[in-house]
Amino acid sequence: MLEKANDQDIEGLSAYTIRNLDSKIATGSDISQYKLMYVKDAPIDNRQEHLDLLCFPTLFPTGQYGEHHPRQSYPAQTLSFSEYIKSRLLNKDSRFRRNHSYCLHYYGLKINKALKTGIYNLLKTSRGNVGQTVAEILEKINVLDEEFEGNLSTMLAPIRGTNQYWFRVKGEVKAMIAEYGSPTLFLTLSCAEYDSADIAQYLRKDFFNIVILQRGVLGKVEQYYVKKEYQMRGAPHYHILLWIENAPVVGIDHPEEVCSFIQDRITCHIPDNQYEIVFALMM
């Protein structure tokens, strides 16, 4: 049976499990201030179906239309986990993407799903660790068992940001270099996030696909590899390796050809009629 809370019941509670930095009730040392608060209540089973409705009542005030809400759709149009998250975060209603706890909740679920995928792939391909004790597994870690380390790499590879994930990405780049040779150009694209009109224009024109790939301002692109990063302020930028068709190679072709190729595509000159745009957006 639910009872209405009074002021004494909610005194000192915050919307976050970790104390807010702006909280005025925190006193004492740093260790005593910034620690998990003890909540006297039965924990919620994180495997139950409507967990999002229970955890975020302000986002779902009617208790409906969560991730597992029954929806009328054709079998081929059933929303996947990733598609549901995208539909929430990119929705016209911005309350979902503006709720940090909601975003972190689903980010944690995404990591758990990726970890389960890695465990499933490991168990499907290797049976050597089945039935072993914790002590035996720890011993393999301490002695740097190569086979066991390879199994861990397989398990953690689907999780973005782990060393195993970047090891796989590095392997993909090395494979492209082995197949196509050294990349011709290293390109970085950043957006001027304070000029929304220009951003909208470039997004509509699909800058990279049209200007770089189709028009060939840097030459005909045979292959490319893209890495997306987010800066501290939240703005995305891209690091790109480009393989240009018939581009001269340093150490193989004449230096004059290499210099001519670079001078035709890279410049520090600011055109007179466009200097204001360049100074505003690139300097």
Condensed to tens digits (0 to 9), the pLDDT of residues 111-122 reads 988 888 887 877
- Phi and psi angles of residue 223, each rounded to the nearest 5 degrees, phi first: -145, 160
Q: What percent of the chain has pLDDT over 90?
A: 4
pLDDT at 176: 92
Condensed to tens digits (0 to 9), the pLDDT of residues 221-257 reads 888 898 888 777 677 788 889 898 888 888 888 888 8
- Does the pTM surpass 0.75? The reply is no
pLDDT at 220: 83
Nearest residue to 250 via CA among 260, 236, 237, 265: 260
Condensed to tens digits (0 to 9), the pLDDT of residues 170-201 reads 989 999 999 998 899 898 887 766 665 666 56
pLDDT at 202: 59
Q: What percent of the chain has pLDDT over 70?
A: 67
Mean local confidence (pLDDT), 139-154? 75
CA distance 247 to 280: 32
Mean local confidence (pLDDT), 203-214? 64
pLDDT at 174: 93
pLDDT at 248: 86
pLDDT higher than threshold 70 for residue 27: no
Q: Which two tokens stand for residue 280?
A: 């505003």
pLDDT at 163: 84
Condensed to tens digits (0 to 9), the pLDDT of residues 66-87 reads 888 877 665 656 778 888 888 8
What 3 state SS string does the chain have? Answer: CCCCCCHHHHCCCCCCCECCCCCCCCCCCHHHHCCECCCCCCCCCCCCCCHHHHHCCCCCCCCCCCCCCCCCCCHHHCCCHHHHHHHHHCCCCCCCCCCHHHHHHHHHHHHHHHHHHHHHHHHHHCCCCCCCCHHHHHHHHHCCCHHHHHHHHHHHCCCCCCHHHHHHHHHHHHHHHHHHCCCCEEEEEECCCCCHHHHHHHHHHCHHHHHHHHCCECECEEEEEEEEEECCCCCEEEEEEEEECCCCCCCCCCHHHHHHHHHHHCCCCCCHHHHHHHHHHCC
Mean local confidence (pLDDT), 126-155? 73
pLDDT at 16: 43
pLDDT higher than threshold 80 for residue 59: yes
Q: How confident is the model at residue 15 (pLDDT cuts 50, 70, 90)?
A: very low
pLDDT higher than threshold 60 for residue 18: no
pLDDT higher than threshold 50 for residue 17: no
